[in-house]
Amino acid sequence: MAQTKFSFKKQDDKSMRDKARIPEMIKLIEEIWNENPDFRLGQLIVAAVKPNEPCPQVFYVEDDVMTDKLRDLLSTMRTVQKGPTK
């Protein structure tokens, strides 16, 4: 996974976004998804964002593939945040 686009280093509390926003977003995603269970997660996000340019890599990704990618991202983030081992 290329790390040139994202920084996975742990931020201090001062520069971090408010974590209180997360439960509301998760709840909204859950409500929308429960009303449209045939949506894939990427499809749901693209439908909400309505990007100017098509995003087939996001829109068409199957949920099992997205799950794997999210697990890989979490693993990468945790590894980077731990820092090098000696």
| Amino acid, single-letter form, for residue 39 | F
| Nearest-angstrom CA–CA distance, 32 and 6 | 28
- Token representation of residue 75: 């693993």
Token code pair at residue 69:
């990618």
Question: Which residue in 67, 65, 25, 72 sits closest to 49, CA to CA?
Answer: 25
Q: What is the pLDDT of residues 17-65, one digit of tens each?
A: 999 999 999 999 999 999 999 999 999 999 999 999 999 999 999 999 9
Q: pTM score, two decimals?
A: 0.77
Distance of alpha carbon 67 from alpha carbon 60, whole angstroms? 14
Domain boundaries, the chain: 21-82
CA pair distance 40, 81, nearest whole angstrom = 30
Confidence of residue 1 (pLDDT cuts 50, 70, 90): very low
